[in-house]
Chain A
Amino acid sequence: MEHITSFKFTSPPSMVRASVFLFIADPKASTKPSNTIAANIITTMSKCTHSHTHGQTHELVIKDLEVAYRDNTVLENINLHAHCGSSLALVGPNGAGKSTLLKAIAGLIKQRNGQISWSGKNNVQTRGGEFAYLPQHEEVDWNFPITVRGVVEMGRYSQLGPWKKFTEVDDKAVERALALMEVDGELSNRQISELSGGQKQRVFIARAVAQEAHVLLLDEPFTGLDRDHTANLTRLLRKLAKENRLVIASHHDVNTLADIFDHVLLLNRRVVAYGECQSTLSADNLNRTFENTANV
């Protein structure tokens, strides 16, 4: 570990390593080949080891959820049961309430009616160590003076809280996340405003991964990614689900849904259909989901 003790006013931006944790990692670590680190992640990330038989407790339950912005009802009568060890796509037209549903699960917006619980407890009470949230690109202040590594280190707050020391364990989690999303090496020391759209997206996904959360709530995670990184993220989401995490993501490309997710929730303010991808993605269901889009 290297402790920041001095500061060079003349350092170019690439030499400055922003860290909200005061401690920074061994710079040599970031030069490891990413595929080795990616291979390690499967064995080290899982928190949930129970088998998913009937009656297991790690379950997200949404009952009669209703959300409104002033007089405009955005979501109504939403009911959902999803358990960890699976991935769920939220699909629907613009304004269908996909982002709102993710925010509601994350406890970020007021509900008019209904309950959301995780492991039998209220979502706002349990979200701290359990949930990771990926906001949409435009919601982030990209001029904030922080490097890529600094952003990913922020993901460790759930484990460390305000005062615990940033240890080697945290450092390794950050390194793994950086490598998995291929934002390690020279990229990890860049100021976040110096990144392309796709790179920015990957940094935030890396932050969510570094959090080692049980439930990942991802708002349009594939936005801005090129073909190779789309394939990489697809593999990652599959791995995360296999590790007994629950992945919920809004998604636009109906053609790739079944390759990435186990289940799909077709949404248009209400639940149009919900179930396994293969059986739910019928032409009839999709038509019902996207019909009257012009009025939405």
Chain B
Amino acid sequence: MSELLEILEMPFFRRALVAAALIGFTNGFVSGFVLLRKSSLTLSALCHTMLPGIVIVVLITGALTQAGAFMGALVAALLVGLGSITITRHTRLPQSTALAIFFTTAFALGVVLLQYVHTSQDLEEWLFGSILSVSDDDLKVFFAIACFTLLSATLFMRPLLLTLFEPNVAAVQGVAIRWMNYLLYALMIFALMASFQAVGPILSIGLLVVPGAIVSLFTNHTQWLFWGGGLVGGISAVLAVVISVPFNIPTGPAIVLVLGALFILAYFCSPNYSPFKQSRNTQH
């Protein structure tokens, strides 16, 4: 306990806690949109694609920089995303199938290429996050992303929800659905960018999916998916960072583990969907 209190006073740990709160809240807020858009699988596929992107950049440049890794990840995700869309348009395969083919192939390529990389320790940090090493400048970026997310989502909440519910009806009512879709993409990409450092690209999908899913077990109120998701995401991320110190476990996986455990707990406690409640109802 005294060890934990000592660490709490260290600037790097305080920065990590603030970063966890900001990143957790932003991702949790956006997770409501991911849930309503049913984009979880697509985003998961794209996150796995980032591995070969980062590895290839390291192989070409010989060094692992934040900008290089981000560009590599982005290009790889774009290639796989657009590739799957092209295949879907020219064949009868559904996009989920095309995406699964592309992302597993890309991930396998990444795993094969990984053995040729010599900076494997740094790379591991990149792939699974290193929230304890965030700088003040990083915090400013996380804060800016959180502000953008809250501001744009609040300003355009009505047209966003109309688009997510039934895009055709929304378009006829005068909603600029194309721009709303762009905004949704932007929100998801910014949230992923923020979680890159916290949990790494591969686990980031957990932070971007689980909070909204947890809240959805308790409410039919659309608005609460976002604010509740933000709250769950922020608190879970902070809690995970605190827990990771005494147990000496990496913070990135700790965040996703806490969220996963919370989801299972939420499922059993849910007033609407709990298996206990359902079995009680059946007995009566």
Contacts and interface: CB of A to CB of B under 8 A. Distances in A.
B173 A22 contact: no
A255 B54 CA distance: 66
B157 interface: yes
B220 A133 contact: no
A162 B166 contact: no
Give the interface residue-count category, chain A: 35 or more
Question: Among B168, B173, B221, which residue has the most Cβ atoms of chain A within 10 A?
Answer: B173
Contacts of A16: 219-221
A119 B115 CA distance: 67
Contacts of A7: 219, 221, 224, 228
By secondary structure, the A interface counts as loop
A265 interface: no
A244 to B, nearest CB: 20
B225 A135 contact: no
Contact of B174 (A139, A146, A158): A158
Interface string B214-240: 001011111111001000000000000
B156 A146 contact: no
Contact of A140 (B36, B161, B162, B166): B166
A145 B159 CA distance: 16
A20 B162 contact: yes
B165 interface: yes
B220 A135 contact: no
B159 A157 contact: yes
Contacts, number: 110
Contacts of B161: 20, 154
A160 B161 CA distance: 14
Interface string B73-95: 00000000000000000000000
Interface string A48-67: 00000000000000000000
Contacts of A19: 221, 223
B62 interface: no
A162 B158 contact: yes
A141 interface: yes
Interface stretch (A123-131, A176-184, A268-276): A123-131
Contacts of B164: 144
Nearest to B217: A9
B173 A128 contact: yes
A185 interface: no
Contact of B162 (A103, A134, A157): A157
A289 interface: no
A167 to B, nearest CB: 15
What are the 4 A-B residue pairs with the smallest beta carbon separation, nearest first?
A: A128-B174, A133-B172, A16-B220, A20-B161
